[in-house]
Structure 1
Amino acid sequence: MHANILVLPGDGIGTEVTAAAVSVLRAVARRYGHEFHFEERLIGGAAIDATGEPLPAATLDAARKADAVLLGAVGGPRWSDPKAKVRPEQGLLAIRKALGLYANLRPVKPHRATLGASPVKPHLLNGVDLVVVRELTGGIYFGDKTRDAGAASDLCSYSVAEIERVVRHACTLARARRGKLTSVDKANVLETSRLWRETTERLVREEFPDVTLEHQLVDSMAMHLLAKPREYDVIVTENMFGDILTDEASMLAGSLGLLPSASLGDGKTGIYEPIHGSAPDIAGKGIANPYAAILSAALLLRHSLGLEREAACVEQAVSAALDAGVLTGDLAPAGRGVRTVEATRAVLENIEADCYVAELRD
């Protein structure tokens, strides 16, 4: 297969973790006889510094032409003034909107080697395997905003069509898993949530009668996600609720540095990124956890390129590295974490060795 992959390192540790993910994708290409072409462009704070814009036209043009986009992270203290008219996060929101990527998939499956890194008791984590599907291009983040000296407002709005398409995506995913969908809203207070709930009920009833649907209010969901995470399969929710709940869900896995994401639309092109931020406090120190970025590359192989065997190989290689105790500082006891390059090297070695052995077994 030939594929064009756009790499957007972004800011902070984004440059380090995307470099690790690219090295893994190159290894996959060599191992399986593919040809991946990588092009690098600016986004976020780095783009503001270079061009004055968080999403330069050249970056967006390259994204539209690419088969997939691998993103690092955006933002940092130098661009963090909330009063600034131009901010790194605007580039992220704009590229998602421009590419029509309305469904953000965030899988959460704690690894046995990292259960001790989670603040949640290990016995609650065994067997957890869930996916959060977050609506990505609507809601309060994209609504009209006003502010004067005495007040401010942010408009949250959703159309039936926006709700239908993301719920349909979540239902399709649930049907291929354990057949259970949990829809999260705030229907006891918000009109947008009441529309969300009514639309979800109708769509599931009409198109996915084999999927079991339950509703949760977002505040109770925040509690249940930590108290009984094994009960959930696919969780679908609106933009802001999803943003908050998935950061909470990262604690089930032990670290933000373990969770990948895929932003998808109706086509094959998607944006793949770890859910963590730019971590400016450790940027440039060579100690960032590359696993989430590498696992995001696995999602890229699966969803945009249709390479399931290769995606599974990468995921197995990361799992084997964790089994072997190759833990970065966010996962290991104080002072005992490995460096970014060591974690990446362990994955690369496993791709060459363990995946080959797995193929022979198959």
Structure 2
Amino acid sequence: MARIAVLPGDGIGVEIVPQAIKVLNKVAPKYGIELEYSEGLIGGAAIDAEGIALPETTLQLCKESQAVLLGAIGGPKWDTLPAPQRPEVASLLPLRKHLGLYANVRPTVLNPALIGASPLKEELVKGTDMVVIRELTGGIYFGEKYREPHPSGEKAVDILVYTTEEIERIAKLAFDIASKRRKKVTSVDKANVLESSRLWRETVTRLAQDYPEITLEHMYVDNCAMQLIRNPLQFDVILTENMFGDILTDEASILSGSIGMLASASFGGNVAMYEPAHGSAPDIAGQDKANPLATILSAAMMLKYSFNCSEGAEEIERAVAKVLAEGYRTGDIMEPGKKLVGTEEMGNLVCEKLGE
């Protein structure tokens, strides 16, 4: 029995997660995988129900599962809470820390059917196929934070910390993934300004000596942000720290047509977590408008990595490709002449294509 902790969360999370489960339920039995789902509260939904963004029962549920399927967290309803109590800070960050999820893996692949959905020219984005490896439990997001009086009013401090060990483990993962792809790693930092980036660059350079078949290049984060738009085909595996990765993956999502297409997996401990890269999209929540494909593709990653079922994962990916090739679109990837569908219908269409 494969136990999955299901955390729909907030906003569109409660709409997209059921579509991924629907797809998993159709694929998994074909490969002899029996799934058991247990649902937990997280984020704003947990604050409303229990007064805390990450209840102990949810954390324990995740620890006792083999994988976590997460929807989305946060929304304007909770934006007025003090920063440490906001859903994103008080649930997602500690969950990653407790589960030891130090590595976020986000593939960015442009489906040929969605070339027209990208705002960039076809000759720039056609053939885009990269993976961003983001360090997930260090850096400025997890550093000490405080305010103190200042002659002008207040001074706010956010401390950015990285250790050699933290850099080594994420870099090794990037090199290992690159060895199974096109054998190129682009390590992104700001070593011309930040001491943490200088340690990052030195450590990655040293580790690269153990991977002679891998081509390593270093790139400043501001240049990388430009190059993602100017020439995305140059990238194979991008390796970077927490905040840079957060920003760059959202930028890279536009290369795939929409952030609604970007799947994500987080690794490091005994339990992996799978989630779409987008947020809770409160402006369309409850309207059957959300794109469930990123969540469905995240579920495919779950089959591949947590349950060792690459064939099932590939079947889901083929089904998504077929639906897109036939012109079905949610609003975020809609183009003239295509067929607009809602969240649930998109999930049903993927299910129909499974096994064809």
Indicate which of 321, 324, 328 corresponds to 1:326.
328
Aligned-pair CA distance for 1:147: 1.0
Residue 186, structure 1, aligned to residue 185, structure 2: no
How far apart, CA to CA, are the structure 1 residues paired with 2:292 and 2:175? 31
Residue 209, structure 1, aligned to residue 212, structure 2: yes
TM-score in terms of structure 1 length: 0.95
The SS at the match of 1:274 is coil
Check 1:10–1:181 CA distance in 2 against 1; reply closer, same or farther (3 A cut). same
Residue 255, structure 1, aligned to residue 281, structure 2: no
Aligned-pair CA distance for 1:31: 2.8
Match of 2:166 in 1: 162
Residue 341, structure 1, aligned to residue 340, structure 2: no
Are the aligned partners of 1:141 and 1:240 in contact in 2 as well (CA < 8 Å)? yes
Aligned-pair CA distance for 1:229: 0.5
Deviations 1:73-132 (A, max 9, x none): 000001112634411112001111100010100000101111111111111111111000
Residue 53, structure 1, aligned to residue 71, structure 2: no
* Identity percentage of aligned residues: 54
How far apart, CA to CA, are the structure 1 residues paired with 2:219 and 2:92? 29
Root-mean-square deviation (Å):
1.2
Deviations 1:275-323 (A, max 9, x none): 0000001000011100000000001111111111111111111111111
How far apart, CA to CA, are the structure 2 residues paired with 1:276 and 1:237? 19
Match of 1:236 in 2: 239
Aligned-pair CA distance for 1:30: 3.1
How far apart, CA to CA, are the structure 1 residues paired with 2:282 and 2:253? 19
TM-score in terms of structure 2 length: 0.96
How far apart, CA to CA, are the structure 2 residues paired with 1:53 and 1:82? 12
The SS at the match of 1:137 is coil
Are the aligned partners of 2:191 and 2:197 in contact in 1 as well (CA < 8 Å)? yes
Match of 2:291 in 1: 289
How far apart, CA to CA, are the structure 2 residues paired with 1:23 and 1:307? 17
Match of 1:357 in 2: none
How far apart, CA to CA, are the structure 2 residues paired with 1:63 and 1:219? 36
User: Which letter maps to 2:308?
Assistant: G
- Kindly tell me the number of residue pairs found equivalent between the two proteins: 350
Aligned-pair CA distance for 1:15: 0.7
Match of 1:358 in 2: none
User: Which letter maps to 1:226?
Assistant: I
Match of 2:103 in 1: 103
Check 1:30–1:124 CA distance in 2 against 1; reply closer, same or farther (3 A cut). same
How far apart, CA to CA, are the structure 2 residues paired with 1:34 and 1:84? 41
Are the aligned partners of 2:67 and 2:272 in contact in 1 as well (CA < 8 Å)? yes
How far apart, CA to CA, are the structure 1 residues paired with 2:335 and 2:215? 41
Deviations 1:115-169 (A, max 9, x none): 1111111111111110000000000000000113411010000000000000000
User: Which letter maps to 1:40?
Assistant: E
How far apart, CA to CA, are the structure 2 residues paired with 1:200 and 1:79? 39
Match of 1:140 in 2: 140
Aligned-pair CA distance for 1:34: 2.0
Moved more, 7-16 or 24-33: 24-33
Check 1:202–1:87 CA distance in 2 against 1; reply closer, same or farther (3 A cut). same
Deviations 1:230-252 (A, max 9, x none): 11100000000000000000110
User: Which letter maps to 2:67?
Assistant: A
Indicate which of 275, 278, 297 corresponds to 1:276.
278
Ranges in structure 1 where 5+ consecutive residues have no aligned partner: 355-362
Are the aligned partners of 2:327 and 2:339 in contact in 1 as well (CA < 8 Å)? no
